[in-house]
């Protein structure tokens, strides 16, 4: 049996790091070729140097650009990789809803196109795993099936739109290439450490709680009855790697979600308890919440808070029969309940908040890990 040679784009973004760690952990014979943008080479090297020696020697950094023609590689290097690679995890993506259209087009759409072109050139490809998002459902309400993509939805951001177009490209080539699509719900930090690179999306809720007076009961944005589906990044990586290693995944799409998502209200209560704050009391209309979230300075910490309020007030659930069946047969545990790791998430936010206050400088905007 030929050892796996995994091409990984988007390194060293949090998702790409999590996927590389899982690949190295799950298969002692696997090697990783990590496409790393020029501006992130030093960060990538530092991460690799911190790995155990046995894993470190199985990672090769390749300076390139996932959104450029041939990944920005010379012809000789491109052809050499294509002869070796047996599996691809296309993790390069723009996820920040504040990103401009040009960047989203280049990375989300252009990157997917280049991943397909590379896959076509591979001599012994077993699977191309495309990391999409459940949010390609846009503003849909009700149950969203894994087989569905276009269902008359409107997109709430250019990120959702371009990720949807990229997934459409992938699905159109499933009859010619071994492709599996994974769609995680809203991704939060590592369930073991709480670590996250950028405070965005649901971290607005965390920040509101941990920075509020301890005796203040914050109101909910909206009624709080809708489900808020959160998944930790380490579990997403574990599930995606397992899916990509199984031939039954070819030509299929998988929702990586919490099978029993909590309501917005319950999530808010758990975060408040973990942060030593009072449980939420009452609610304010979603439109008013969006207006309040225009507060000066807030957008320096969490980008596009209004977009997150729209997520909180969209009553959607994700069918996950494909993922449940395959992951269950592979012995991968379901997504851990938020109750089991919310303390880690909140502790990490509290530590970062204390650090920022101690140096008394505004938080540096963290670059979206693109390519």
> Is the Cβ–Cβ distance between 8 and 16 less than 8 Å?
yes
Give yes or no for residue 282 having a pLDDT over 70.
no
Average the pLDDT over each of 79-93, 268-282, 343-357 and give the range with the smallest value: 268-282
> Is the Cβ–Cβ distance between 36 and 29 less than 8 Å?
no
Q: Kindly report the CA angle at 233 between 355 and 272, in degrees rounded to 5?
A: 55
Residues 50, 154 within the same domain: yes
Question: Is the residue at 180 inside a domain?
Answer: yes
> Is the Cβ–Cβ distance between 370 and 159 less than 8 Å?
no
Give yes or no for residue 293 having a pLDDT over 90.
no
The pLDDT assigned to 3 comes to: 84
Residues 290, 153 within the same domain: no
101-151 per-position pLDDT tens digit? 999 999 999 999 999 999 999 999 999 999 999 999 999 999 999 999 999
The pLDDT assigned to 301 comes to: 46
Contacts of 335 (CB under 8 A, 6+ apart): 231, 232, 235, 239, 256, 257, 258, 259
Confidence of residue 370 (pLDDT cuts 50, 70, 90): very low
Q: How far is Cα 173 from Cα 116, in angstroms, rounded to an integer?
A: 8
Residues 217, 247 within the same domain: no
Locate 154 and state its tokens. Answer: 């409107």
Q: How far is Cα 129 from Cα 244, in angstroms, rounded to an integer?
A: 6
The chain-wide mean pLDDT, for the chain, equals 88
Into how many domains does the chain fold? 2
Average the pLDDT over each of 68-82, 85-99, 353-367 and give the range with the smallest value: 353-367
Question: Is the residue at 126 inside a domain?
Answer: yes
Q: Which residues pair with 188 in a beta bridge?
A: 232
Give yes or no for residue 369 having a pLDDT over 90.
no
The pLDDT assigned to 118 comes to: 98
More confident residue, 307 or 247: 247
The pair phi, psi for residue 170, each rounded to 5°, is -60, -45
Please count the CA atoms within 13 angstroms of the CA of 283 that sit on its side-chain side. Answer: 15
Question: Is the residue at 368 inside a domain?
Answer: no
Give CA 341 to chain center in angstroms.
17
Question: Is the residue at 134 inside a domain?
Answer: yes
Give yes or no for residue 285 having a pLDDT over 80.
no
Give yes or no for residue 195 having a pLDDT over 70.
yes
Residues 270, 310 within the same domain: yes
Helix axes 233-244, 321-329, angle to 10 degrees: 80
Residues 154, 277 within the same domain: no
Question: Is the residue at 243 inside a domain?
Answer: yes
Which residues constitute the domain of residue 52?
Answer: 5-187+230-256
Residue where a domain terminates, one of 239, 256, 273? 256
The pLDDT assigned to 206 comes to: 82
Give yes or no for residue 296 having a pLDDT over 60.
no
The pLDDT assigned to 49 comes to: 97
Give yes or no for residue 289 having a pLDDT over 60.
no
Residues 155, 220 within the same domain: no
Residues 162, 280 within the same domain: no
The pLDDT assigned to 216 comes to: 66
The pLDDT assigned to 281 comes to: 67
Q: Strand runs (DSSP E) across 223-313, as ranges? A: 227-228, 230-232, 252-256, 262-263, 283-284
Question: Is the residue at 319 inside a domain?
Answer: no
Residues 164, 223 within the same domain: no
Question: Is the residue at 326 inside a domain?
Answer: no
Residues 104, 222 within the same domain: no
> Is the Cβ–Cβ distance between 43 and 71 less than 8 Å?
no
Residues 198, 266 within the same domain: yes
Residues 159, 291 within the same domain: no
The pLDDT assigned to 146 comes to: 98
Confidence of residue 205 (pLDDT cuts 50, 70, 90): confident
Question: Is the residue at 325 inside a domain?
Answer: no
40-70 per-position pLDDT tens digit? 999 999 999 999 999 999 999 999 999 999 9
Residues 207, 265 within the same domain: yes
Give yes or no for residue 91 having a pLDDT over 90.
yes
Give yes or no for residue 219 having a pLDDT over 70.
no
- The CATH number covering residue 132 comes to 3.40.50.720
The pLDDT assigned to 249 comes to: 98
């Amino acid at each position: 049996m030929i050892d796996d040679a995994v091409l990984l784009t988007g390194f060293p973004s949090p998702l790409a790091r999590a996927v590389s760690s899982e690949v190295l952990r799950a298969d002692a014979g696997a090697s990783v070729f990590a496409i790393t943008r020029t501006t992130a080479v030093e960060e990538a090297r530092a991460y690799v140097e911190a790995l155990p020696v046995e894993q470190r020697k199985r990672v090769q950094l390749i300076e390139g650009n996932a959104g450029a023609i041939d990944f920005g590689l010379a012809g000789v290097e491109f052809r050499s990789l294509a002869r070796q690679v047996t599996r691809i995890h296309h993790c390069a993506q723009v996820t920040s809803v504040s990103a401009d259209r040009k960047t989203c087009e280049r990375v989300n759409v252009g990157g997917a196109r280049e991943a397909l072109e590379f896959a076509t050139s591979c001599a012994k490809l077993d699977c191309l795993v495309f990391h999409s998002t459940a949010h390609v459902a846009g503003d849909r309400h009700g149950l969203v099936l894994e087989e569905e993509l276009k269902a008359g939805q409107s997109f709430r951001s250019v990120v959702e739109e371009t990720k949807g177009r990229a997934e459409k490209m992938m699905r159109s080539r499933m009859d010619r290439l071994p492709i599996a699509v994974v769609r995680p719900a809203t991704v939060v930090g590592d369930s073991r450490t709480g670590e996250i690179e950028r405070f965005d999306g649901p971290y607005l809720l965390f920040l509101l709680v941990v920075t509020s007076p301890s005796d203040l009961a914050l109101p909910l944005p909206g009624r709080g009855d809708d489900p808020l589906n959160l998944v930790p990044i380490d579990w997403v990586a574990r599930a995606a790697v397992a899916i990509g290693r199984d031939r039954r995944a070819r030509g299929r799409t998988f929702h990586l979600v919490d099978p029993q998502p909590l309501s917005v209200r319950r999530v808010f209560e758990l975060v408040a308890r973990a942060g030593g704050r009072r449980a939420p009391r009452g609610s304010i209309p979603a439109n008013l919440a969006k207006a309040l979230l225009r507060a000066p300075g807030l957008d320096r910490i969490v980008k596009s808070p209004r977009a997150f309020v729209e997520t909180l007030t969209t009553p959607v659930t994700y069918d996950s029969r494909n993922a449940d069946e395959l992951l269950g047969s592979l012995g991968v545990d379901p997504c851990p309940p938020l109750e089991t790791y919310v303390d880690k998430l909140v502790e990490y936010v509290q530590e970062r908040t204390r650090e920022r206050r101690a140096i008394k400088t505004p938080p540096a905007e963290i670059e979206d890990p693109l390519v």
